Amino acid sequence: MKIAISGKGGSGKTTISATLTRLIGRRGFPVLAIDGDPNPNLIQALGLGSGIVAEAVPPNVVAREDQNGATRHVLTTSIADIISQYGLKAPDNVTVLVGTKVDHAGAG
Amino acid sequence: MRSIVGEIVSNSESVTVMDMEASIEHMSRGTVRYADVLLVVLEPYYRSMETAGRTAPLARALGIKRIYGIANKLRGASDAEAVEAYCRNHELELIARIPFDENVTEADRIGRAVIDYDARSPIVKELSRTAGFLLRGAPASGNGTGGN
């Protein structure tokens, strides 16, 4: 199940995202949390503390392939590798990635 | 055009939760397309509800199958009624009614997750019901007025 959460700044979206993520993980499901907000605060909200800075996943994990005149995006490395290199472990079966740098690279 | 977050999400077998930009209008369409569920957070004031009201049809147009509202910071019955009425009129199904919860401010002030600060706080209790609903499709919600 892939859940996206949106909301105006100040609405409590990040607190809700983090709390819901921890609660799903607490029920025994491994959860991948992705911070796509231009002001990434999800790591702190998940309970990892304010001193931790995660390295954002860089845009070069995806390459563009041109095939028959169409452009495809393909991962240049496996999900497992992305997670092991950039993912942070949070309590309750949660892994968090900061996806800010990569999300806008592919916007369209 | 796919987004990279979308690529990661679509290749992941776990449950994924994407904390997105404030407004779906600014979101990468590629990312959102990979979502099975979109949760729209709204507060009981006009501009917040209007933003949510614009988000739901955009999300439907992108093909997201399950779109739900999460009402937050509700202070009392009139806030709850305002949000309920708005959501009814805009075809947005509300699945959580979170009261204004001081524990959020307190936890944030000391840099802790609210679930660690107080696992029995109203926001955690309500979102626990929401998690259950999302994971198994069962109906669940409190009344958002701060009761235990």
Residue A70 domain flag:
yes
Domain region containing B62: 4-100
Task: Let me know whether B42 and B109 are in one domain.
Answer: no
Task: Let me know whether B63 and B33 are in one domain.
Answer: yes
Residue range B39-63: mean pLDDT, rounded: 90
**A11: nearest CB among B6, B16, B48:** B48
B76 has pLDDT over 80:
yes
State how far residue A32 is from chain B, nearest Cα, in angstroms. 5
CATH code at position B28: 3.40.50.300
In chain A, which residues have their Cβ closer than 8 Å to the Cβ of B127?
16, 19-20, 23
Closest by CA to B135, choosing from B11, B15, B7, is B15
The total number of structural domains that make up chain A: 1
Residue B76 domain flag:
yes
Task: Let me know whether B65 and B136 are in one domain.
Answer: no
Task: Let me know whether B64 and B108 are in one domain.
Answer: no
Task: Let me know whether B116 and B55 are in one domain.
Answer: no
Confidence band, pLDDT 50/70/90 cuts, at residue B138 = very low
Could you identify the residue written with the tokens 């992305």? Answer: A82
Q: pTM for this one?
A: 0.86
Residue A83 domain flag:
yes
Residue A5 domain flag:
no
B33 vs B62, residue with greater confidence:
B62
ipTM, two decimals, is 0.87
Q: What is the mean pLDDT, run by run of 10 residues, along chain A of 108 residues? A: 89 95 95 84 89 83 83 82 91 89 48
pLDDT single digits (tens) A78-105: 888 888 899 999 999 999 998 766 654 4
Chain A, chain B: beta-carbon pairs less than 8 Å apart:
243
Mutate to test the interface with A, among B5, B19, B118 (most CBs of A within 10 A): B19
In chain A, which residues have their Cβ closer than 8 Å to the Cβ of B42?
7, 11
Whole-angstrom distance, CA of residue A70 vs CA of residue A85: 31
Whole-angstrom distance, CA of residue A107 vs CA of residue B34: 14
**Secondary structure (DSSP) of chain B:** ---HHHHHHHH--SEEEEE--S-GGGS-HHHHHT-SEEEEEE-SSHHHHHHHHHHHHHHHHTT-SEEEEEEEEE-SHHHHHHHHHHHHHTT-EEEEEEEP-HHHHHHHHTT--HHHH-TTSHHHHHHHHHHHHHHH-------SS---
In chain A, which residues have their Cβ closer than 8 Å to the Cβ of B132?
27
Task: Let me know whether B120 and B56 are in one domain.
Answer: no
The residue in chain B having the minimum alpha-carbon distance to the alpha carbon of residue A106 is B3
Cβ pair B38:A6 closer than 8 A:
yes
Task: Let me know whether B111 and B61 are in one domain.
Answer: no
Task: Let me know whether B108 and B74 are in one domain.
Answer: no
Residue B143, by phi and psi: left (phi above 0), alpha (psi -120 to 50) or beta?
alpha
**Secondary structure (DSSP) of A47-94:** II-TT--PPPPPGGGEEEEEETTEEEEEESS-HHHHHHHH-EEETTTE
Confidence band, pLDDT 50/70/90 cuts, at residue B28 = low
The residue in chain A having the minimum alpha-carbon distance to the alpha carbon of residue B20 is A36
Residue B33 domain flag:
yes
Domain region containing A87: 13-105
